[in-house]
């Protein structure tokens, strides 16, 4: 009996091993099937912009500017007025300038006469009102004290001084014969300005400039994507014409001693 039990043990063990191997084989095959069915997940790769694409994204702007129009105009309240950020204030400023131009140009009013008439009317109204209050038993009108602040006036004077000194330094540099391009540009600008000045007086020219400041920047800011390509084509054409003019005319003009020393 003992020998029969001993002989049956290895058979039972071999049978159990076969059953376990079969189960393990089924599990491994099912795992392999599920792995095959799972879709492969590819790692996401961020697109890298090539150099030509980055160059294309750089849009040519008028006068080579890189800042927005608001920053080019100096920012702050003046730029807000020129770009019509607050339509009421911009319309009031433009309407006041138009009224002044109509008074002096259309109605041919003189500045000194206008100031005197305004002062006469203002003083007469306040004088009669102050004396009439004694008979009516009412309080006299409150006339505010007006003082010019020192800070803004000094800031304006300092800004004007800096701009005048910069203009004088530019004129001195041009007169010394160092920059031929600047010399020709300033001469052409002054000549055009003299022609415009012969057509109208200073007040009309100032008013036209003031109106252009209130219209051109806001229109350019609105349509800059359409204006910049046209301006780029115009600038390329101007550079071509200038290169031809430089090769035929400017290169034949003898250079001054300061220009030669600067090149050496």
Q: What is the pLDDT of residue 123?
A: 92
pLDDT for res 6: 44
Residue extents of the structural domains in the chain? 61-109+201-251, 150-199
Q: Is 82 exposed, middle or buried (0-12, 13-18, 19+ CB in 10 A)?
A: buried
The tokens describing 102, both together, are 């109509």
- Which tens digit of pLDDT belongs to each residue from 181-193? 788 888 888 898 8
Rounded-to-integer distance, Cα 176 and Cα 163, Å: 20
pLDDT for position 65: 66
Q: Which residues of the chain have pLDDT under 50?
A: 1-12, 23, 26-56, 258-262
What pTM was estimated for this model as a whole?
A: 0.56
Q: Supply the pLDDT for residue 88.
A: 92
Report pLDDT for 249.
77
pLDDT for the residue 116? 93
């Amino acid at each position: 009996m003992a020998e029969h039990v001993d002989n049956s043990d290895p058979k039972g063990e071999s049978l159990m091993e076969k059953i376990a191997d079969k189960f393990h084989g089924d599990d491994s095959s099912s795992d392999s099937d599920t792995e095959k069915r799972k879709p492969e997940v590819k790692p996401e790769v961020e697109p890298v912009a090539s150099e030509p694409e980055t160059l294309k994204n750089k849009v040519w702007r008028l006068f080579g500017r890189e800042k927005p129009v608001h920053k080019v105009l100096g920012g702050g309240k003046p730029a807000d007025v020129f770009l019509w950020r607050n339509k009421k204030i911009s319309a009031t400023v433009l309407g006041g300038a138009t009224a002044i131009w109509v008074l002096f140009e259309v109605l041919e009013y003189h500045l000194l006469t206008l100031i005197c008439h305004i002062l006469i009317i203002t003083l007469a109204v306040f004088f009669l009102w102050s004396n009439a209050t004694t008979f009516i038993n009412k309080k006299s009108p409150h006339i505010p004290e007006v003082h010019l602040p020192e800070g803004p006036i000094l800031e304006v004077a300092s800004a004007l001084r800096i701009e005048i000194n910069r203009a004088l330094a530019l004129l001195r540099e041009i007169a010394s014969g160092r920059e031929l391009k600047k010399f020709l540009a300033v001469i052409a600008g002054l000549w055009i300005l003299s022609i415009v000045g012969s057509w109208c007086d200073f007040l009309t020219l100032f008013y036209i400039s003031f109106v252009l400041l209130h219209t051109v920047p806001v229109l350019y800011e609105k349509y800059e994507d359409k204006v910049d390509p046209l301006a780029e084509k115009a600038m390329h054409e101007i550079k071509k014409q200038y290169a031809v003019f430089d090769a035929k005319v400017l290169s034949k003009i003898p250079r001054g001693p300061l220009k030669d020393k600067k090149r050496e």
